[in-house]
Structures are given as structure tokens and as C-alpha cells.
A and B are shown apart, each in its own frame.
Chain A
Amino acid sequence: MKKVYSRPKSLKRNPFHYCPGCGHSVIHRLIAEVIDEMDLQDKAIGIPPPGCSVFAHHYFDVDMAESAHGREAAVATGIKRAFPEAFVFTYQGDGDLAAIGTAETIHAANRGEKMTAIFINNAVYGMTGGQMAPTTLSSMKTTTTPYGRDVEIEGYPIKISEMLALTRGAVYIERTAVNSPANIRKTKKAIRKAFQSQLDNLGFSLVEILSPCPTNWRMEPLESWRWIDEVMAVEFPLGVIKDVTGSKDAD
């Protein structure tokens, strides 16, 4: 019998603790697959955030170091400046990257730090219990917008990827989703391309991934997949936002 599917080498043998239907598990696996395929396991340093994925080091079999909330890009900067041979990826949520860590992220991108940010956008603060995120959609209910996000009071869902694309140091930015087999494949391709741009020393790269959070969205997993297509991707359109890597698509 032929083995067609197995656990990536750079994923540990620990079962994921994430909620049913959560996007983290899928994204972890995609990253691990790309690390394996690009042979990065022994030079990678991952920076997970405080948040649901704070225990990412239980799953990734690569060196990892915790960061303070929002400071991943600064930590990555320190690592790359002291040890440029390292391959560094941050793993950050929307509150982390697009609220408390906005300054660190924008300036790391603008300096063209050779790092990759994997940006999980699920429109909500997951670990703290479903509060409003900067990416929460207009009129979406969260525990701190119990009557729905009122843009007059709480402002608009922030499009951080589009903002980052304006920085000269950012070379590759793509928004994908993990709500269908096709989109999952596209996400993996985007991660690979972002990683490659770092290996080629081109500059800052980021993959924004629309990721379901059925628990805090109060939905069934399948419903949450559909909601990404029907609602979220309307506000946050999928696709390449910036690509100045000059590389050709493999397929």
C-alpha cells in the first residue's frame, strides 16, 4: 500500500487543542508542510503570540520564542539583525498585529526586515473570549460590541494588509482563506512564496489568512466557512495585494 498522507516532520506528535472548526490547526499544518518542503526545520525560529496559539511551540518542531503581545515584528527584527542566517516567521492574530502591534509591524515592513508574518484574521479576539478586534466587521456582534459594531463609535474594520502594501520595504503581501480545499491550497502556495521571498533576502512578507472562529462567531463550522465567503471576503477581498518579488508563479 502506498502512503499518501502523513504528519509533517516539523509538526510534533501532539494533538491540537484548538476548538472544532478552528482555522489554526489547518494553518499550523500548512506552515509545517512548507517548512519541510523548503528544508527549513533546522534554521527556523517561530514567534507565536499571546492568544489562542500561545502554545504553538507544543506543535511546531522548530525553535520558537514567545513574544509580548504585538511585539513579534520587533523581536523578529532583533533576531534577524543579530543572526541573519535564521529563517524567522511570526504567527499573529488580528488584535496582535493590527491593534497593539501596529507600530512594530508597519515599521518592520517599512525597514524591509527579512521576515515573514503569518497574520490570522478571524475578526475577533479569540482567547480572551470574543471581544471586538480591529478587523471585526461592521454591525458584527462581539462581547464588547453586544449591539453590533457601530462604525460611528468603533470605527471601521481595518485593512492592515493594504496599508502595509504601501511601505516600500514590503515585497509580498497576499490575503487568503482556509475555508475550502481550494483556498487551503492557495494559502499554502502563498506561505511558500512569502517564505521564499525571505530566503531570497528581498524584504518583508505577510500572508493574511481569513480563518474561521466558530466558537466566538457562535456558528457551526460549516456555517463559518460559508460566512467567510459571503461576508468576510467581501470586506477583505482575497488575492495578491502586493508582489514585487519578481518571481514567476510555479504553476
Chain B
Amino acid sequence: MSGNSIIGEAAIRAGCQCYFGYPITPQNELTEYMAAHLGRRKGCSFVQAESELAAINMVYGASLVGARTMTSSSSPGISLKQEGISYLAASQLPAVIVNMSRGGPGLGSISAAQSDYFQATRGGGHGDYRTIVLAPSSGQELADFTHRAFELADKYQIPVIILGDGMLGQMMEPVEFKHEAPEKPPVRSNALRGAKGRPSRAITTFTSKPTELEEINWSLFRRYQLIQRRETTYEAFMAEDAKLMVVAFGVAARIAKGAIKNVQAEGLKVGMLRPITLWPFPSAQVTSLSNKVKQFLVFEMNMGQMIEDVQLALTGNGDVSFYGRPGGVIPTPSEVAKVISRIYYQKGLK
């Protein structure tokens, strides 16, 4: 199955009831998968919306009434969705948003890139909010993280972004689905489904009193702190006796892993930290690594975005180098291996 189809199947198995989308390369297989497999399921719905704006606002509507719901797009389309994501965050409504990102800015390229890191991890739309961001790097993780995304969204009543890229979306890899689709899609308990047997309720965020909004902001912030404490996830690879730590996420981490195996064979002590949740970022892990390791290499398929989170976590207690390929260029493991070994020698680690 292609990565895009894997997400679709995993979403259905996670109880996704409604999908709203608009075609854009390189994520069309996901929209098509939902059209073929979700639309005809009992009680489920697929709509090809007239725009990304409409799609995300349909997600908002479906989430209001308690459905597990999802939309997907690629970079330019995700820009359009930011309005709705901000409203979802403000209204504390769960939703899953998939970004199979491509090169930018502008119309950019349809090739895989990681240039939406800032957009994904800084909220993206207007206002003071965060979204959980999961960064898979394989077909299996696309399946597992899609399931986790729906669980997290419901648990914390928050929009969750799956940040993949064109390569993950197009690539086929063996995958094992660990969940069966529920017979009836679940309905969230606090859903807005008419004032039957209870007083009427309103989901709103607008207020004419700044202090009320401040209180909303504080309550969101406290939830974000909770998520940071509980849900931060990462993978450490060959970190024990490393003298140089590579920090990379998603597809770049996968490429870096191959590169690290190459340089390990030459006797270089290099490890990797892969943030799995990009927000919350594993800052504490980076900080504690810096007690043992002083040299870091951040490798991203962009001009340097996650590097800012690494630098913040290190607060000067470590030396950070950067290697990036933007625009949709996919670097090879051997290219990255050369960079790693150059930096290793330059920094006098051998």
C-alpha cells in the first residue's frame, strides 16, 4: 500500500467517520482511498469539498457533533486550512489534519520537503495555540501514528497534525494494521447534538471581555503543559557512546540512519535523536544529551527550522552544525554520511 492509502486505512480503523478533502499532489491517493473506502461505510461520510477552507470547516462541523474526523492536504493547501485549525484549537475540538508536505514557498515543487516545520509546530494560524505534531518516517509509522493521532486528539480535545511528506505518501512499504475498524464509529461524549434533556450549549470563542479570553488562553496553556509532560516522544539511535549526535525527523531521520550506519562502519561514534512529536519537542532529551555530547548536527530537508528548537534546548551548551537540502531535493544516505564524517573530523572528534 502507498503511504497515503496506509493513512486512509488506519484512519478508518481508528473510527474516522467523516473525511473532507480537496485534491492536491502528492496526497491524492489518501483522498481517493477515503472516497472508495470510507464514503460507503454505514454512518460514514466522504465529501470532496470546494476548497481547503471549506474542507477544514466541514471538519470543524463534524467534530462539533462528536465524530472522529480528518482532512488531508499538502503544503499550499495546509496554508489555507490554518483558519479552521485556529478555530478548532480555540474551540477545543479534536481533529486530525494530514500534511504530506512538498517544497515551497509558493506553488513550489511536488517533491518531498520538510519546509512546513515552523508552520506545523508554531500553531500555524492566528492566535496563541499549539497543535500536537507527529512525524512518521515509515509506512508502519504512518499506520501507527494515524491511530495515535485520533486517540491524542480525543484525549486532549485538540487538533493533531501528521506531518509527512510527498515521499512517504507515494512510497509503498509493508505494513501491519494493529486495530480493527469499529462497527459503529464512536461519538464523543461532550458533543453538540441538540439540547435534548439538557440545557442548550454554545461553542464559541469570541468574547468582548479580554479577561475572559485570557482565561481561555491560560486553560489552553495548562493543557499544552500537560501534553508536554506526558506525550513527548522521540527515538534515540546509537546514542550511548556517541561523540556527535545527529538530530533529524521524518524522512530525513530515515536517511540519516542509513548514513550513520555507514560512518559507524568506519569507526565514527555517531548517534541520532529523532523527535517523533515535533510539538511537543523533546527539549529535555536534547538538554540531557548535552551533558555527554557537545557536538550536534541538525539535518533537515529545508533551510533550517527544527535547528531553532535544538538551539533553544541546548541554550549554548553544545555546538550545533546544520545540513539542509530544501526545495524538494532528497539527499542520499551517502551524501549525508560525507557531511557527518567531515564535521566529525573538523570538530576534532577523531
Contacts and interface: CB of A to CB of B under 8 A. Distances in A.
**Do A and B share a direct contact in the complex (Cβ within 8 angstroms)?**
yes
A108 B183 CA distance: 29
Query: What secondary structure prevails in chain A residues at the interface with B?
Result: mixed
Given A65-B64, A68-B84, A71-B84, A82 B17 contact: yes
A224 interface: no
A63 interface: yes
Interface in B40-67: 45, 47, 49-51, 53-55, 57-67
A82 B53 contact: no
A141 B204 CA distance: 33
Contacts of A65: 61, 64, 91, 192, 202-204
B206 interface: yes
Contacts of A55: 206
A75 B193 contact: no
A54 interface: yes
A66 B53 contact: no
B209 to A, nearest CB: 12
A196 interface: no
A78 interface: yes
Using C-beta atoms within 8 Å of the partner chain, give the interface range for chain A: 35 or more
A184 interface: no
A29 interface: no
B45 A81 contact: yes
Contact of B54 (A42, A80, A81, A104): A104
A107 B18 CA distance: 18
B348 interface: no
A238 interface: no
B321 interface: no
B50 A66 contact: no
B190 to A, nearest CB: 12
Given A60-B200, A82-B67, A75 B205 contact: no
B195 interface: yes
Given A82-B18, A103-B51, A75 B58 contact: yes
B194 interface: yes
Interface in B76-90: 83-84, 87
B54 A107 contact: yes
B229 interface: no
A63 B201 contact: yes
Contact of A78 (B51, B61, B193, B205): B61
Given A43-B196, A104-B50, A67 B57 contact: yes
Query: What secondary structure prevails in chain B residues at the interface with A?
Result: mixed
A245 B324 CA distance: 61
Interface in A68-90: 68, 71, 74-83, 85-87
Nearest to B199: A61
* Listed residue (B192, B194, B204, B206) with the most chain A CB atoms within 10 angstroms of its CB: B194
B129 to A, nearest CB: 14
Nearest to A81: B45
Contacts of B87: 66-68
A108 to B, nearest CB: 8
B69 interface: yes
Contacts of A111: 47
A44 interface: yes
B20 interface: yes
A42 B65 contact: no
A19 to B, nearest CB: 16
Given A66-B206, A104-B53, A104-B54, A78 B69 contact: yes
A63 B202 contact: yes
Nearest to B68: A82
Interface in B83-119: 83-84, 87, 91
19 contacts: A44-B194, A45-B64, A45-B192, A45-B194, A50-B206, A57-B204, A64-B203, A67-B60, A71-B83, A74-B53, A75-B64, A78-B58, A78-B59, A78-B60, A78-B63, A78-B65, A82-B17, A107-B54, A111-B47
7 tightest Cβ-Cβ pairs between the two chains A and B? A78-B61, A57-B202, A74-B57, A78-B58, A82-B67, A82-B62, A71-B57
Interface of B: 17-18, 20, 45, 47, 49-51, 53-55, 57-67, 69, 83-84, 87, 91, 191-197, 200-206
Interface of A: 41-45, 50, 54-55, 57, 60-68, 71, 74-83, 85-87, 103-104, 106-107, 111
Given A71-B57, A78-B63, A87-B194, 20 more contacts: A41-B195, A42-B194, A44-B194, A63-B192, A63-B195, A63-B202, A64-B201, A64-B202, A66-B204, A67-B87, A68-B83, A75-B57, A77-B61, A78-B58, A80-B61, A82-B45, A83-B66, A83-B67, A86-B193, A107-B49
